[in-house]
C-alpha cells in the first residue's frame, strides 16, 4: 500500500542537492555516493569491503558497542516479550573483531544478529570521510557508520535531518510522515531499545488485529529499496523503519540541525509537559493549549508588539547568552 519515495539522480556537486536538503519531504538520491571507493570495494565482495574499512582502524581505538541478538530475533532489534527488557545484549569489542565476525557468519542461514550502530566515523575510522567525500556545503554534520547483517530497526524518528548513504549491501527504507504518530502505536518514551521511542508494530509482519490503525499508517507510508551508492534524505521527525537485506551491510549517515547549537531538544519539553500539563482538568489543558498556540506555535511580531523591546525578556528573540540565562532560571526552579 505504500507509495515509492520520490527519486532524483544527482552528482554530488549540484545545487539541486542543497534544495533537497532544505526541504521537508524525503527523497531518494540514486548513485549519490557511487563514486566512493568504499562502494566500489563493497560491490566487489564483503571481504573487499571489510579489508577497505580495516585500512582506517586506529590501533589504540576504543572498542565499539555491538548489539547482539539470538537467531530467533530474526534481525529485529526490539523489546523482549514482557517489554521489561530487550531481546539483545550489548558487547564492547574491537571494530575489527566485529567485522570479521560478520564475515564468518555471512553464509549461515540463521545467524545471530550483529549490529554496530551509530559509530562516529572520525573517532573509529579517521581518514574514511576524506577518501569518501560528500559535499554538504555550509553544514558540519555528525557522520556515523552503521554496520551489521540482516537487521531490522523499529520505526522511530530523529530530531536532526538525516542523509543516509548505503555503502555496502542493500536496504529497504519505509518512511511515515510525522502526523502518523497516532497510527504507529509508539512504545514507552523513557525505556527504549536505542534512545528514541519506537513503534511496537513490525512493518514486515504487522499484527493488524492488535494494531489496526497501522493499516492507515501504511496508506501514508513511502518506501524504497536502496543499492550501494544510493542515499535517502530523511527530514527531521519523519518516522523510519530500516531493514538491511544482505549478510553484510554498511550505512554512512550525516545528521545536522538547521537550528543554533544552543537550542535544547524539544523532547525535554515533551517530558516536562507530561509532568506539568497532561493530568490537568480538561478546561485547564485547553487554556494551556491556547497559551502554547499563542506564544510558541503561532508566535509572530503581533505576539509582542505591545511590549517595549527592552522589556520583552524571554519573549524576545533568543541567542546563546539569553538561552543560557533562561536555562539557568529553569534549573533553579526545578531544583527548588
Q: 196 and 302 share a domain?
A: no
Q: Which residues contact 214 (CB under 8 A, 6 or more apart)?
A: 183, 184, 185, 201, 206, 208
Q: What is the pLDDT of residue 13?
A: 47
Q: 134 and 155 share a domain?
A: yes
Number of domains comprising the chain: 2
Domain end: 256, 275, 300, which one?
256
Q: In this predicted model, what pLDDT tens digit does every residue of 268-285 receive, in sequence order?
A: 999 999 999 999 999 999
b/e map 245-271, b = 16+ CB within 10 Å: ebbbbbbbbbbbeeeeeeeeeeeeeee
Q: 61 and 163 share a domain?
A: yes
> What φ, ψ does residue 237 adopt, rounded to 5°?
75, 5
Q: 104 and 199 share a domain?
A: yes
Q: 104 and 214 share a domain?
A: yes
Q: 247 and 276 share a domain?
A: no
Per-position DSSP letters for 236-249, written without gaps between them: TT-EEEEEE-SSSE
Domain end: 256, 274, 309, which one?
256
Distance CA 96, CA 63 (A): 9
- Comparing CA positions, the residue from 243, 252, 226, 247 lying closest to residue 99 is 247
- Comparing CA positions, the residue from 146, 170, 174, 164 lying closest to residue 246 is 170
210 is a domain residue: yes
Q: 318 and 198 share a domain?
A: no
Distance CA 44, CA 30 (A): 19
Distance CA 220, CA 180 (A): 8
Residues of the chain with pLDDT under 70: 11-15
Q: 34 and 93 share a domain?
A: yes
14 is a domain residue: yes
Q: 64 and 149 share a domain?
A: yes
261 is a domain residue: no
Domain that holds residue 302: 266-334
Q: 11 and 113 share a domain?
A: yes
Amino acid at each position: 500500500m505504500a507509495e515509492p519515495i520520490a527519486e532524483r539522480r544527482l552528482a554530488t556537486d549540484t545545487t539541486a542537492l542543497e534544495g533537497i536538503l532544505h526541504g521537508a519531504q524525503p527523497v531518494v538520491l540514486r548513485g549519490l555516493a557511487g563514486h566512493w571507493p568504499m562502494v566500489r570495494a563493497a560491490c566487489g565482495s564483503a571481504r573487499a569491503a571489510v579489508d577497505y574499512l580495516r585500512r582506517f582502524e586506529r590501533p589504540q581505538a576504543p572498542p565499539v558497542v555491538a548489539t547482539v541478538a539470538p537467531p530467533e530475533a530474526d534481525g529485529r532489534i526490539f523489546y523482549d516479550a514482557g517489554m521489561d527488557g530487550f531481546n539483545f545484549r550489548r558487547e564492547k569489542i574491537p571494530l575489527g573483531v566485529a567485522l570479521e565476525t560478520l564475515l564468518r557468519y555471512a553464509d549461515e542461514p540463521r545467524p545471530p544478529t550483529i549490529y554496530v550502530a551509530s559509530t562516529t566515523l572520525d573517532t573509529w575510522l579517521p581518514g574514511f570521510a576524506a577518501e569518501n567525500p560528500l559535499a554538504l556545503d555550509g553544514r558540519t554534520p555528525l557522520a556515523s557508520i552503521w554496520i551489521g547483517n540482516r537487521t531490522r530497526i523499529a520505526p522511530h524518528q530523529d530530531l536532526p535531518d538525516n542523509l543516509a548513504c548505503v555503502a555496502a549491501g542493500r536496504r529497504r527504507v519505509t518512511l511515515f510522515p510525522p502526523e502518523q504518530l497516532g497510527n504507529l502505536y509508539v512504545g514507552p518514551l523513557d525505556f527504549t531499545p536505542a534512545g528514541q521511542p519506537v513503534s511496537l508494530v513490525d512493518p514486515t509482519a504487522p499484527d493488524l488485529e492488535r494494531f489496526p490503525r497501522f493499516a492507515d499508517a501504511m496508506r501514508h507510508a513511502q518506501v524504497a529499496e536502496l543499492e550501494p551508492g544510493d542515499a535517502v534524505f530523511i527530514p527531521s521527525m519523519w518516522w523510519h523503519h530500516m531493514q538491511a537485506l544482505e549478510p553484510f551491510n554498511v550505512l554512512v549517515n550525516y545528521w545536522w540541525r538547521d537550528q543554533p547549537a544552543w537550542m535544547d531538544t524539544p523532547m525535554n519539553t515533551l517530558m516536562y509537559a507530561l509532568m506539568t500539563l497532561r493530568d490537568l482538568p480538561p478546561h485547564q489543558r485547553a487554556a494551556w493549549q491556547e497559551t502554547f498556540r499563542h506564544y510558541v506555535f503561532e508566535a509572530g511580531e503581533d505576539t509582542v508588539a505591545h511590549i517595549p523591546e527592552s522589556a520583552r525578556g524571554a519573549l524576545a528573540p533568543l541567542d546563546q547568552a539569553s538561552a543560557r540565562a533562561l536555562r539557568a532560571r529553569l534549573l533553579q526552579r526545578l531544583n527548588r
